[in-house]
Amino acid sequence: TTANNLTRGDISWTSASASNFLNGLSSWFTGPNNRIIGRKIAEKAKEEAINSKDPLDMNFALSSLITLYYRDRDKHDYFKKAISYCRAQIKIQAVAKRAFLNEYPNEALPSHVGYNQLVIVLEKEKKYHDAISLAKEAKSNGWSGDWDKRILRCQKRLTN
């Protein structure tokens, strides 16, 4: 069928999974006039990640979706979708963490888009206790980020 042309067939030029390939492709469509295409490709990457043997495929697909939906957060229900994807990525963070540490044993964990974006949103909504709690969780789980700075800023705002 034509619905799966991007993800089926003999792909001999890459060892990437279909999800990984599509996720990379979606990153080419982040401009304001192209995000609708990027979102469709990233949604397909997420769909492919469900059956992937690599748990990082879902982590990266969710990262892309968070970014693509949050950039257009003022349209449709995209803000809610971005937040939902943040929560989904946070929910699988332990599995992603194990996969990162297994694949890159001598490296620090990268930043985590879901934690980062949700902490920013909570701070903007003046939900400082929730932002602090989530930033502390991200830090304790080892994800890279400016967690101490965010925690301190939210604590200062609580006392003002």
**What are the tens digits of pLDDT across the range 50-63?**
999 999 999 999 99
**What are the tens digits of pLDDT across the range 84-143?**
999 999 999 999 999 999 999 999 999 999 999 999 999 999 999 999 999 999 999 999
**What pLDDT does 2 receive?**
52
**What pLDDT does 60 receive?**
97
**What pLDDT does 5 receive?**
60
**In 3D, which of 109, 82, 105 has the Cα closest to residue 93?**
109
**In 3D, which of 44, 38, 39 has the Cα closest to residue 17?**
44
pLDDT at 158 over 60: yes
Looking at the chain, the whole-number percentage of residues with pLDDT higher than 90 is 89
Buried b (16+ CB within 10 A) or exposed e, 37-55: bbbebbbbbbebbeebeeb
